[in-house]
Amino acid sequence: MQQNLVVGLVGFGYAGQTFHAPLITATLGLDLCAVASSQPQRVLDHYPAARVLPDALMLIKDPQIDLVVLATPNASHYPLACEALDAGKHVVVDKPFTLTVAQASELAQRAQASGKILSIFHNRRWDADFLGLKALIASGRLGQIAQFDSQFDRYRPQTRDRWRENTELGSGLWFDLGPHLIDQTLQLFGMPQAVFADLQQRRAGAQAVDDFHVLLRYPTMRVKLSASCLVSGGAPRYMLHGSLASFEKQGLDMQESQLKAGLLPGAVGFGLDPVPGLLHHSVNDLVSSEEIVMPLGQYTNYYAAVRDAALGLAKNPVTAEEGVLIMQVLEAAQQSAAIGAWQSMEAFNE
């Protein structure tokens, strides 16, 4: 009988408390035994059996821990992942993987040399609407894809004094939501040929990107990625246009809001998307629409796959090499925005 993997979580802010801790504890074969946090009582209020350690390095060097999960500010991902790999741990890093392509490439090399699993928490591969979208594309009902629009808005009209909104590299909406939108796009269509980006600061007092529109060019199609802190509703999450039909999906996946409200995986309704997508057909200039029910969202599948990968039973669900590709698109968009022109992806393959 395989012994459970002992997990240490670094960070108990929004990501650690809302996503990682509940998903880890809901996954058979994973034991959340320690949390590194500056707010020990907050941790113990939720996980009274956990050991609370005062700093990340103490947790990373704990010989009992098999898997280190980094739910920390973006700038700390690279140095802490290096420490954890050097300590012989399996590692999960929250997105974005790193701050630069160079950091991502080095971490991928370190992970390969260590023989340990290094995975990035791209949980939105298991969003209900994305799972439904993938299945619809695979069915062929859309025909040849011509355009994919992916829009993820968070209405926050006032700025806040926090690291996510300061002037440091790794702050802002492009580093927050961009990695998710890029990852989903690469899962569907692979790497683009070129990137054109408009990264803006639109709110009064904004210091970091709070609005972005990014185009990805493919040989026979294009992708539009966008997000804003000033869109309060009405915009579709996905629009997909093909030679046979179009698909529209409103609303966001419910798993984040459910976890935030305290609903745990396994509870009735967890992962259920109440808003069906609409498949639009046009025949002789007459448009008909068909409701497409979304499958259940499955965030717990990520940590189950990490567990199996660490045990040598399955593949890493999100590899460091995939993380490098995501960072290449993220960085290409920054370069495009700086020069106001298309940025070829060939420069990253030289």
pLDDT digits (tens, 9 = 90+) for 297-337: 999 999 999 999 999 999 999 999 999 999 999 999 999 99
Mean pLDDT of 270-293: 93
pLDDT of residue 95: 97
- DSSP line for 195-225: EEEEEE--STT--S--EEEEEEE-SS-EEEE
Question: Is residue 62 a contact partner of residue 8, using CB atoms and an 8 Å limit?
Answer: yes
- Residues spanned by the domain of 213: 124-297+330-344
Do residues 66 and 129 both lie within one domain? no
Task: Flag whether 223 is in a domain.
Answer: yes
Residue that finishes a domain, picked among 65, 97, 121: 121
> Is residue 43 domain-shared with residue 106, that is, in the same domain?
yes
Q: What is the pLDDT of the chain when averaged over all its residues?
A: 96
CA distance 286 to 311: 54
Phi and psi for 244 in degrees, rounded to 5?
-110, -25
Three-state secondary-structure class, residue 290:
strand
Q: pLDDT value at position 287?
A: 83
Answering whether pTM is above 0.85, one says yes
Q: Is residue 42 within 8 Å of residue 66, measured between CB atoms? A: no
Confidence at residue 166, expressed as pLDDT on a 0 to 100 scale: 87
**Do residues 129 and 116 both lie within one domain?**
no
Radius of gyration of the chain from its Cα atoms, rounded to whole angstroms? 20
Burial environment of residue 104 by CB neighbours within 10 A (0 to 12, 13 to 18, 19 or more):
buried
327-350 burial: b if 16+ Cβ within 10 Å, else e: bbbbbbbbebbeeeeebbbeebee
Is residue 289 domain-shared with residue 158, that is, in the same domain? yes
- Do 88 and 182 lie in one domain? The reply is no
- End-to-end CA distance of the chain: give it in Å, rounded: 47
Q: Which residues contact 185 (CB under 8 A, 6 or more apart)?
A: 148, 150, 192, 216, 223, 225
| CATH at 158 | 3.30.360.10
Q: What kind and span of H or E run contains 324?
A: helix 320-339
The secondary structure of residue 59, as a DSSP letter, is H
Structure confidence at residue 162 as a pLDDT band (50, 70, 90): confident
In contact, 152 and 180? CB cutoff 8 Å:
yes
Task: Identify whether 146 is part of a domain.
Answer: yes
Task: Kindly state whether residues 99 and 149 are assigned to the same domain.
Answer: no
Looking at the fold, whether 67 and 170 belong to one and the same domain comes out as no
Local structure of residue 4 (DSSP, 8 states) = P
Q: Is residue 316 part of a domain?
A: no
Whichever domain contains 78, its CATH number is: 3.40.50.720
| In-domain check, residue 150 | yes
Residue where one domain finishes, among candidates 91, 121, 151: 121
Choose one of 105, 121, 137: the last residue of a domain.
121
Q: How far is CA 192 from the centre of its chain?
A: 19
Residues 224 and 277 in one domain: yes
Is the same domain home to 70 and 96? yes
Residue 153 lies in a domain: yes
- Residue 202 included in any domain: yes
Check whether residue 115 and residue 132 sit in a common domain. Answer: no
Number of domain units in the chain: 2
Query: Could you tell me if residue 318 is inside a domain?
Result: no
**What confidence category does residue 224 fall into, taking pLDDT thresholds of 50, 70 and 90?**
very high
Report the C-alpha gap between 210 and 200 in whole angstroms: 6
Q: What percent of the chain has pLDDT over 70?
A: 99
Please give the pLDDT value at position 350: 61
Helix or strand or coil: residue 120?
strand
Say whether both 93 and 160 belong to one domain: no
Q: What is the pLDDT of residue 220?
A: 95
168 within domain boundaries: yes
Domain identity same for 136 and 113: no
